[in-house]
Amino acid sequence: LDADPSSVAEVLGPLAAARPGLRVPGAADGWEVAVRAVLGQQITVVAARTLAARLTERCGRFPRPEDLASLPDEAFPMPRTRIATLRALAEAAPRLESPADAHALVELPGIGPWTAGYVALRLGDPDVFLPTDAGVLRALGTGAREAARRAEAWRPWRSYAVAHLWASL
Summarised one tens digit per residue, pLDDT across range 72-105 is 999 999 999 999 999 999 999 999 999 999 999 9
Q: Is the peptide bond before 109 cis (omega within 30 degrees of 0)?
A: no
pLDDT in tens, 118-132: 999 999 999 999 999
CATH number 1.20.120 given to 5-24+126-167: no
pLDDT in tens, 36-67: 999 999 899 999 999 999 999 999 999 999 99
Residues carrying CATH 1.10.1670, the chain: 5-24+126-167
Residues carrying CATH 1.10.340.30, the chain: 30-122
- Fold of the 30-122 domain: Endonuclease III; domain 1 (1.10.340)
78: DSSP letter = S
Beta carbons within 8 Å of 144's beta carbon, 6+ residues apart: 131, 132, 137
Whether the pLDDT of residue 27 is over 70: the answer is yes
**Which residues are the active-site residues?**
133
